[in-house]
Structure 1
Amino acid sequence: MHLVNFSELMGPDWRFPDPFCQIPGLSSECHVIAPGSRSWGLRLNSWAAARRAVRAARERSDAVLVSHLPGATLRVAALAGPGSRCGAGIRHIAFAFNFTDLPQGRKLRAYRAALSRVDEFVIFSNFERDLYARHFGLPPERFTYLPWAMEVPRTGEVEAPFDQPWLVALGGEGRDYATLMQAARLRPDLRLVVIARPYNLAGLELPPNVKAFANLPAASAWGLVGGAAGMLLPLREGRTPNGHITLVGAQLLGVPLAITDSLGVRDYVDPATALLLPPASPEALATAMERLATGGAGIREMALRAQDIARDRSAPSVWCDWLARL
């Protein structure tokens, strides 16, 4: 089996699967867009890279197309045509199929037409199976749940952002940082670091006890996480299927976690492994901030339980085992 991968986000050195995943008879190649593409150039380069991937797959009888994230899947499906379910097409797997906001209107119609051709969708939460099946008119059995898997994040050396213990919030998709800022105002005695994308904090006034960073190198971001007394992961609502990378990384580092009780993360957290909070509640977040910052009763034990579970559930070998079964 030969995997032909396409991603719009990864760089020229990207490999999938990771080199450690040695499966007899499995080979792969990766196609990405030209570095530095923007605006219409980005769109044109995305289509060009997708076309190269489809062309490469058609040259091999053992090829499996693997598109990473929905935008890449849309392009590959539109170009490749019907998948292997129709008998003559190339098998097409949509990996990391995840939306922060579901498409609507004309965009939805385009996705529905393209996605009907895809053989399998890999999702990172069971909640997304019925969500996407209903929205895109697809059979639920085409969706395969895999837990988000990763190595323990590499933490770089960082300068302490405060002269006292700090809490951290990391990530951009599906976050509710407006509520988090309200919570920080309720606890001016506590310190908070937010590592996000510029648009996450646009229009928000940061309290004096909050420091924000954008576009940090990964090692620096995880260094701030690893040194924190706890992580806060406020999601927009109780159905938000985002935050998987952030929460799993924190669990693997042994950092205590407080997170919105969302159906989209129920595969990763429960009351024994995280502080589960109602959505859009500054008061609940403020209370969680105090518990994490002071290392209240059971906080360390909670983090250790989460770490132990994550080491097995989210080990990179989980994806390798899935690939071996294809």
Structure 2
Amino acid sequence: MGGVPKRKVQTLMLWTVAAPFFTAGDEGDRWLDDLVDAPAHRFLKIPAAPARGGDWHRRAMRATPVGQWLRHWRQSARALAQGDGVVTVFPQLALTAAIQRRIGRRDGPIVAWCFNIGRFPTGWKRRVARFFLRSVDMFVVHSRGELALLRDRLMIDEARICFVPLQRAAVPILANEETEAPFALAMGSANRDYATLYEACRRTGLPLTLVAARHALPAEPPPPNVTLRSDLDPAACLRLAQQARVSIVPLADVAAASGQITMVEAMRMGRPLIVTDAIGSRDYVVDGATGLLVPPRDPAALAAAMRRLWDDAALRTRLADAARRFAGESLSDEAAAAALTRILDTVAARRKG
């Protein structure tokens, strides 16, 4: 399928929206539904129970713990009970809602937004996921490469999958580029290839700041020109990203969609990017136009791209300006909300028909 459907519907629908970052009465609960201006759709946010151990965004565990699954289960149950249809954010809530719809014989549609699976289940877990995910009416992914992955690995009909670019609101400018002591920046912990980045840094000698959880780092110590940082709050991360001369997103598994939040935020801030060529980056970074793409696990190519962008101020400006324009036009909250409206129209029309 690969595009956003455009059918329209007039039947009034109350959609409950469940996201793990929703908390009752919190301004942080603002999401795309707040930007939808369509009389056919109303929305009710369903908050999650408070997480033990702090902010779920910053947890260091790679797998979803049992306690978190229980929170998803309770949140999706409330969402199914209170609306005509459900919009979930992230795969875990989509799966718990799909299971409950199947076993509870509920009829309301489910739209699984941001269905980005880093590592697909195998064996019996995959068979269980395939069975219950048949209850989902539409999956929204943020890279075109995921269309085939969901079709082939989870047996999902491509008519039930949409590609919508990952969005980010305009980012507040907190700092200017550091010119007296310039540095490159790499940030993030999911599916990162920091071993290749370490070797590229050894070859270039360029100063680099690396912000990542401990589990994402290689066992070997970093080169002397790499400074490790961790446990920074979001404002500190944004400040570093705006101060950096170059932003680098090295990816390990090129068949997994990851690193997109870091890419999109850098583009929104107008920062020059170097990104591994992978399914999650090709829909955002056009090589030589909005950034530089480098082949995976190739320290020589990464080092050459780092040196090229570091030394060429005109190239940095050209790429950064083009990235900012593209992000403002195509990766904004408003663009994603328009896509959400069209998807809900289509799902509701299919149900009515």
- Which TM-score applies when normalising by structure 2? 0.82
Deviates more, 1:139-148 or 1:179-188: 179-188
- Shift, 1:98, TM fit: 0.4
Which string of whole-angstrom CA distances, capped at 9 and with x for unpartnered residues, describes residues 224-275 of structure 1? 0111111111111433311111111111111100111113321111122211
Q: Are 1:282 and 2:307 matched, yes or no?
A: no
Query: Counterparts of 1:310-325 in structure 2 under 5 Å?
Result: 310-325=327-342
Q: Are 1:265 and 2:291 matched, yes or no?
A: no
- Shift, 1:11, TM fit: 4.3
Whole-angstrom distance in 2 between the partners of 1:159 and 1:312 = 24
Q: Are 1:130 and 2:148 matched, yes or no?
A: yes
Change beyond 3 A, Cα 1:316–1:8? closer
Give yes or no for contact 2:119–2:256 (8 Å, CA) kept in 1.
Answer: no
The corresponding residue for 1:8 is 20
Give yes or no for contact 2:110–2:137 (8 Å, CA) kept in 1.
Answer: yes
Give yes or no for contact 1:166–1:293 (8 Å, CA) kept in 2.
Answer: no
Equivalent pairs, count: 316
Give yes or no for contact 2:292–2:305 (8 Å, CA) kept in 1.
Answer: yes
Give yes or no for contact 2:22–2:46 (8 Å, CA) kept in 1.
Answer: no
Give aligned-pair identity as a percent.
30
Change beyond 3 A, Cα 1:281–1:184? same
The corresponding residue for 2:172 is 154
Q: Are 1:193 and 2:209 matched, yes or no?
A: yes
Q: Which has the higher contact order (CA 8 A, sep 6+)?
A: 2
Match 1:294 to one of 311, 317, 327: 311
Q: Are 1:81 and 2:102 matched, yes or no?
A: yes
Whole-angstrom distance in 2 between the partners of 1:308 and 1:17 = 21
The corresponding residue for 1:173 is 190
Change beyond 3 A, Cα 1:209–1:317? same
Match 2:86 to one of 42, 62, 65: 65
Look up the SS of the partner of 2:280 in the other structure.
helix
Give yes or no for contact 1:37–1:45 (8 Å, CA) kept in 2.
Answer: no
The corresponding residue for 2:78 is 52
Change beyond 3 A, Cα 1:217–1:78? same
Deviates more, 1:118-127 or 1:177-186: 177-186
- Shift, 1:48, TM fit: 2.0
Query: Counterparts of 1:99-138 in structure 2 under 5 Å?
Result: 99-138=117-156
The corresponding residue for 1:98 is 116
Q: CA RMSD in A?
A: 2.5
Give yes or no for contact 1:238–1:278 (8 Å, CA) kept in 2.
Answer: no
The one-letter amino acid of 1:6's match is: A
The one-letter amino acid of 2:279's match is: L
The one-letter amino acid of 1:275's match is: L
Whole-angstrom distance in 1 between the partners of 2:194 and 2:270 = 23
Change beyond 3 A, Cα 1:238–1:48? closer
Deviates more, 1:137-146 or 1:288-297: 288-297
Which structure 1 segments of 5+ residues have no match?
A: 58-62
- Which TM-score applies when normalising by structure 1? 0.88
Change beyond 3 A, Cα 1:253–1:125? same
Give yes or no for contact 1:238–1:261 (8 Å, CA) kept in 2.
Answer: yes
- Shift, 1:118, TM fit: 0.5
